[in-house]
Each structure stands twice: as C-alpha cells, then as structure tokens.
C-alpha cells in the first residue's frame, strides 16, 4: 500500500471533518458579511474582540493578544488593524504606562458597524450549521458546537 491510498486514521478523518465544517461556516459568514456590510470574517472578528477589551477597568489587549484572539500572525493583524483604521473603524494609541505598548480601540463608527453586522453574523452562522447538520459526517460536530456552554461560571 502506498501513502497515496493508505486509509485515513479516525483521528485524521475527524480532523478533516472539523476543517471542512470550519471552512463551510467561514465561507457562508464571509459571503453574508461582505454582501451586507463590506466586512470580512477577520475584520468582523477583530472588531468584536477589540470591542470587548475595555469591559473591565484596566483591561487592554496588546497586539500579540489580539493576533492570538483572531488567529492571525502579528504582521497580518497589524495590516488588518491598519485597514480598519484607514476606514475610521479603529484607532491606535500608546499605552500610558509603557510607551512601547500600542493599544487599538474600536471607534464609535466601528461599534455601530459591529452592532449592525452582529445579527448578520449570527444568522449566517445558524444557516451554515443547519446546512452542515444535513451532512452525516458533520452532524456530530454540529451537535458538539451547539452543546458548548459558554455561560459564565
């Protein structure tokens, strides 16, 4: 048996199914956000993450933390921040206690666009999960996603 026709392990099969589910969901949400709000999934995610950074007094995210939250390299995150800053959706400022630190903040225009886009994101996510649930190999993954409890403990 050669490597090209070797059977997948259960682990590899599961990983492929998870990757397929992610790609289908992301593509569906991307189309909806682009069509209705001119936002990519990454832009939406960045606005969402940054909109929450000041919910607790003194809580700020460094760019490396933001990059981890949106699953991009630091350089890709910086480019993404710059694009949104050029659109007036974000602004950057120096950390008052560490002049080497740069924080990014969502502007009022960014918050307004995020609020407008959130129902689109949520609806597209629901649609993508409903479609994926009809694919037998994805059904258990959809059920797992739907069963995750993220309520505060």
What's the CA gap between 109 and 123, in Å, rounded? Answer: 22
Tell me the per-residue pLDDT of 72-97, one tens digit each, with 9 for 90 and over.
998 999 999 999 999 999 988 887 77
- Mean pLDDT per block of 10 residues along the chain (153 residues) reads 66 93 97 98 94 66 83 91 95 79 88 97 97 95 92 66
Q: What are the DSSP calls for 2-59, one per residue?
A: -GGGPPPPHHHHHHHHHHHHHHHHHHHHHHHHHHHHS--HHHHHHHHHHHTTTSSTT-
Q: For the chain, what is the mean pLDDT?
A: 88
Any idea which fold 39-138 has? Arc Repressor Mutant, subunit A (1.10.10)
What residue ranges do the domains of the chain occupy? 39-138
What's the CA gap between 56 and 11, in Å, rounded? Answer: 40
Residue 46 structure tokens: 């960045």
């Amino acid at each position: 048996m050669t490597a090209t026709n070797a059977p997948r392990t259960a682990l590899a099969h599961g990983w492929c199914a998870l990757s397929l589910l992610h790609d289908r969901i992301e593509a569906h949400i991307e189309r909806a956000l682009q069509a209705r709000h001119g936002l990519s999934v990454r832009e939406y995610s960045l606005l969402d993450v940054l909109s929450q950074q000041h919910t607790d007094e003194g809580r700020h995210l460094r760019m490396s933390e933001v990059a981890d939250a949106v699953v991009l390299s630091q350089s890709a995150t910086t480019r993404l921040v710059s694009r949104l800053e050029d659109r007036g959706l974000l602004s950057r400022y120096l950390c008052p206690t560490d002049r080497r630190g740069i924080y990014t903040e969502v502007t009022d225009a960014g918050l307004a666009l995020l609020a407008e886009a959130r129902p689109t994101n949520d609806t597209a996510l629901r649609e993508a999960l409903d479609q994926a649930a009809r694919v037998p190999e994805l059904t258990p993954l959809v059920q797992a996603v739907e069963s995750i409890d993220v309520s505060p403990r």
